[in-house]
Chains A and B, each alone.
Chain A
Amino acid sequence: MRARTRIRRKAVVLAAVASLGAGLLAGCADDGDDNGEGSSSSGGGGGKTKITLGLFGTAGFEESGLYKEYEKLHPDIDIQQTVVERNENYYPALLNHLTTNSGLQDIQMVEVGNIAEIVQTQSDKLLDLSKYGKEGDYLDWKWQQATTEGGQTIGVGTDVGPMAICYRTDLFKAAGLPTDREEVGKLWAGSWEKFVDVGNQYQGKAPKGTTFLDSPGGLLQAILSSEEDRFYDSSGEVIYKTNPAVKDAFDLTAQAAEDGLIGNQTQFQPAWDTTIANSKFAAMSCPPWMLGYIKGKSKPEAAGKWDIAQAPKSGNWGGSFLTVPKSGKNTEEAAKLAAWLTAPEQQAKLFGVQGSFPSTPAAYESSEVTSAKNDMTGDAPIGTIFAEAAENIPVQTIGPKDQIIQQGLTDNGVVLVTQGKSAKEAWDNAVKTIDNALDQ
């Protein structure tokens, strides 16, 4: 008897310890996922030249089979990637690695919100890619964004984010609004005020529990990304506080929030994901990559209920660049790969699979783009809709701290209005946060 209880006790303790250990391991695995995920499936590759890519988010090169294709074309190349999910976690590390010139992958992706800072402060550590990528292939403004004053192009563009408006046809119908994408586009063509007016119309007859838009951040982002000058003027001065375009965008968003047109969510949070799944809002600003996101977060029955209309004004939201750090072992091969991955044919393929919209106009004519469809939007010709939006994108002045300013205006600004603060309080809070962040 005695012996048995002792054994049982031991077993219980062992089980407890084991479960603890498992918890620890699980914790480790969680941490590891961030940067260890998705290394190339080809593996091994003894004697081959290994090219590594550091990416964030859903670049989709591997998913669309581009690595395999390149490895087939160049049997001596072995491609491996590491992916960090969020750029907010990826970028500080990249900047660190660049400043110390160590720990870099052969190819590093850079988000458009950060490209100005990289161009201005790190260009001496990056290879000039103008010899590899063909300038004429890319949208002119995309090419210029990665080009230094001295004419050195340190990044080749991957995708761009021509912005349209995704809307729920079922909810629009229930609120007595038209559902045809041409008619919907006409409702608000030309100005964001009209867009908010449509929101008021919607809210008047809205199905219970739904709002016109998802989040204040989404609307502010959409308005600002259709402006030529936002936070910096062309001479590089910070003008976000005095630029009427920024204040107007902020006030319009705050007004819409006060009028209850906007759900009080922050984008890309779990709770926001749930509002997509539960169909809690009728419209959102929608670059091509957002379709993939909607698809990922929606319940199956939402398929086909979305449609896309042109935004009041075209803008660009998102898009990245591939850069090649000079410290790499195989910079030549890496540069060739970067140029190949972003060439029109590959970008077209990527759009077909991943919804990343090409930054190379030549790709817009390809069948992959013109015939592209998305499960969520039924038979909407998303390729031609976004191509039309892309042609109207203004050339935007971007600055080194765009991301911080945008984040401050959203996370420390308009979001407060949905929490019952006045627009003025929200603006003051945002300005104070941003100024403190910019002050060296």
Chain B
Amino acid sequence: MTTGHDTAAASPAKEGGAAPGRPSGGGPVTEQEQRRRKRLSRRWQRDVRWSPYAFVSPFFLLFLAFGLFPLIYTGWASLHQVELTAPTDMDWVGLRNYTRIFDDDFFWNAAENTLWIGIISTVPQLMMAMGIAHILNYKLRASTFYRVVMLAPYATSIAAASLVFVLLFGRDYGMINWALGTVGIDSIDWQNDTWASKIAVSTIVIWRWTGYNALIYLAAMQAIPQDLYESAALDGASRWQQFFHVTLPSLRPTILFTVVVSTIGASQLFGEPLLFDANKGASGGPEHQFQTLGLYLYEQGWVNQHLGRASAIAWTMFLILIVIGIVNYVISRRLRASS
């Protein structure tokens, strides 16, 4: 790494910038000086060619160690019967861990829960984010303050947030049931009821991510040229009409981006349902009513210690994610083509 330094010192850059300037010709130079320059130039070329690889290598080395190796190892483990108590003791079972997923009620229950929680968290979340972004886009006093506040839930740890929500959603002494009680609604068993528990988990997700998405939308909204609104206003379009006919179409790529990111996030949902479980277990409630795929994977691997089965679930989830990615890609191409 010292080469850059040397050359820069030897011939200061004429045009500024990070790269050292080329040795300029002109004027008589000694043979020695020429050799020196040639040497420096070779060094510089080598530097230019190889340094970038050196600079990016940490990522790839880390990826090899913590990304690719686990991926391959998990794939290998998924073809074996192997327990966490003795990870080197592997019994080859072929595709059995995968085939049994087809009649694993718990897996499909988890997949269904993941889908439902994904829908009831992502859809309202993005719609609310859009509304909030629209409001923040008006001229407001202390708008920076509101923007920072929007991001506050995102910055809190899931653990802290979920624990607070567990208290809020408590059946007997929770604040939400108390509030419902004051308007005459019977207390709801948020943790054990099939749908109430899913809604409660979604609430944590919505609370955490709405502001984040709102800021993304806001950034995109501010990039929309003002004259579009002005001409729309001249044409007599109301605020709502402007929103539907100017803002939404311009945000289409951004919306697509947030949908993709939220979908991926939703399919990997883990922390919220884990911490929402009152028993501090990974079964997602007594009847597994809010056990997501991520939670089921964790339960198989780290609670039940079936490394092979957990690996197969991990790979199946990976494949499902790829399918979701392809579907998203196709839809986005369609949309782009149509616009």
| A residues in contact (CB < 8 Å) with B | 9, 12-13, 16-17, 19-20, 23-24, 26-28, 30-31, 86, 88-89, 92, 95-96, 99-100, 117, 121-122, 266, 269-271, 274-275, 404, 407, 411-413, 415-416, 419, 429, 432-433, 436-440
Contact = CB atoms under 8 A, between A and B. Distances in A.
Contacts of A9: 142, 144-145
Contacts of B167: 270
Contacts of A19: 152
A13 B159 contact: no
Interface stretch (B1-9, B43-51, B233-241, B298-306): B298-306
B303 A92 contact: yes
A169 B86 CA distance: 51
A28 B106 CA distance: 33
Contact of A20 (B84, B148, B288, B308): B148
Interface string B58-80: 00000000000000000000000
A320 B106 CA distance: 33
B322 to A, nearest CB: 26
A86 B302 contact: no
A113 to B, nearest CB: 13
Interface in B280-323: 280-281, 283, 286-288, 299, 302-306, 308-309
A340 B278 CA distance: 38
Nearest to B146: A16
Given A24-B157, A26-B160, A412 B283 contact: yes
Given A415-B286, A433-B283, A24 B84 contact: no
A437 B148 contact: no
Interface stretch (B131-139, B170-178, B217-225, B253-261): B170-178
A419 B189 contact: yes
Interface string B141-170: 010110011011001110110000011001
A404 B157 contact: no
B272 interface: no
A271 B286 contact: no
Contact of A27 (B142, B160, B287): B160
Given A266-B279, A270-B170, A419-B189, A412 B155 contact: no
A404 B282 CA distance: 12
B24 interface: no
Contacts of B278: 266, 269, 271
B175 to A, nearest CB: 13
A440 B81 contact: yes
Contacts of B279: 266, 269, 407, 411
Contacts of A440: 81, 83, 306, 308-309
A275 B173 CA distance: 10
A29 to B, nearest CB: 10
A96 B304 contact: no
Given A95-B85, A415-B286, A419-B286, A31 B142 contact: no
A271 B189 CA distance: 12
Please report whether the interface of chain A is mostly helix, strand, loop or mixed according to DSSP.
helix
Interface residues of B, number: 45
A32 to B, nearest CB: 11
B203 to A, nearest CB: 18
Given A92-B302, A416-B286, A419-B286, A16 B145 contact: yes
A415 B171 CA distance: 14
Nearest to A96: B84
Contacts of B156: 23-24, 27
A265 to B, nearest CB: 8
A266 B191 CA distance: 12
A23 to B, nearest CB: 5
Nearest to A400: B85
Contact of B148 (A17, A96, A270, A416): A17
B192 interface: yes
Given A266-B279, A271-B173, A121 B85 contact: yes
Contacts of B308: 440
Residue among B81, B160, B170, B286 with the highest chain A CB neighbour number at 10 A: B286
B105 interface: yes
7 contacts: A9-B145, A16-B148, A23-B156, A30-B159, A99-B87, A271-B171, A440-B309
A402 to B, nearest CB: 14
A412 B286 contact: yes
A20 B152 contact: yes
Q: Which 3 A-B pairs have the closest CB atoms?
A: A27-B157, A16-B148, A121-B85
A71 B306 CA distance: 42
Interface string B100-117: 000011100000000000
Given A20-B155, A28-B157, A121 B86 contact: yes
A353 B192 CA distance: 38
Contacts of A419: 189, 192, 286
B305 A412 contact: no
Nearest to B167: A270
B148 A13 contact: yes
